[in-house]
Every structure is written in structure tokens, then in C-alpha cells.
Amino acid sequence: MSRHIQITIDAHDPRALSTFWCAALGYVHPAPPGVELPEGADALAAWDEFLTRVGVPREEHNAKSAVEDPDGHGPRVFFQRVPEDKVVKNRVHLDVRAAPGLSGEERMAALEAECERLVALGATRVRRDEPAPPMSAGFLVLADPEGNEFCLD
């Protein structure tokens, strides 16, 4: 029997990082428990109202955040506030599949276009690995706004 997974990422600013990943992945912030959000409603504002109502101090409102695939296929990504900085390369990273089915220059052009979009959202470009058939179709390495490496492939 398979299991559902959640990916957890340590962060200094969980809400800001979750907002980046919402835009990067096409995910959404889920509604608070028992809250029905109308289409287009601000889920983070709803979380602030919910947390205030249940007595969570304002300084703890940004202790955690999460994003979910609106289609229910991809894993939930959870962000938790931690005091320490990231100091070494990730041992686990996300691969964002930005050019499925494409190859050669068409693939690399699609990855470059997605890289531009993500850099505009706050990512940093790290490097480009050229296609090396048959083992690699080529990919780009980026870092999210808090320095966590991920690949566009």
C-alpha cells in the first residue's frame, strides 16, 4: 500500500517562502480547518483571522505555512519556522518538471523561460547543465528565496 507524503521545509519566513512556492508550483494555500473559502479569497488572511480567534499570539502567526496542489495530485509542502540559517547544500531537493516531453534546444528554451519567471518571483539562478544524451536531457539549478536548491528539468 502506498503512502501520501508531505515535504517539510525549514524556513525563516514560512509565509513568504510558501507564497513563492505557490507561484512556482501552481499550488494554493489551504483554508483553515472548518473554514470554507470563496473562490479568490485570501487564504493567508483567513488563517490570520482563524489563528486570532483560537488564541494564537500574533507573533506565532508566521510559525508555519503550507501549500497544496489544487488538483490533489502533488504532495503537500509544509514550511516551519526555524532559528538557524541554512549552511550546506540540500541533501534532498525538489525537481520542478517544467519541460515534460521536450528535448534539445526546445527543452532548454522552455527551462530558461521558466527560470526567468521564477527569478522574477525571488529565486536565484545557480547553474545550467547542458543536455548529455542519453543520460541527461539537461536541467537548470536554482535556489528559492531562502537558498534551498531545486532543479528545473
Per-residue pLDDT, averaged over 86-95, amounts to: 91
Average pLDDT over residues 109-131: 98
What are the C-alpha distances in Å from 32 to residues 15, 52, 53, 61, 62? 14, 12, 11, 12, 14
**Burial of residue 58, with CB atoms counted within 10 A of its CB: 0-12 exposed, 13-18 middle, 19 or more buried:** exposed
Q: How high does pLDDT run on average in the chain?
A: 96
Place of cell 541527461: 136
**Strand 76-81, strand 64-67: pairing:** antiparallel
- Between CA 112 and CA 68 the distance in angstroms is 25
Digit-coded pLDDT (tens) for 11-37 = 999 999 999 999 999 999 999 999 999
Question: What's the mean pLDDT in 80-101?
Answer: 93
Asked if residues 142 and 115 have their Cβ atoms less than 8 Å apart, the reply is yes
pTM: 0.94
How far, in Å, CA of 70 to CA of 45, rounded?
18
Helix axes 14-25, 104-121, angle to 10 degrees: 150
- Separation CA 86–CA 148 (nearest Å): 8
Is residue 52 scored above 90 in pLDDT? yes
For the sheet with 64-67, list strands across it: 6-11, 76-81, 64-67
The yes-or-no verdict on residue 1 having pLDDT over 90 is: no
Above pLDDT 90, what percent of the chain? 90
Evaluate if residue 127 carries a pLDDT over 90.
yes
Of the pLDDT bands very low, low, confident and very high (cuts 50, 70, 90), residue 89 is: confident
Instruction: Tell me the residue type at 49.
Output: E
Mean pLDDT to the nearest integer, 54-70: 97
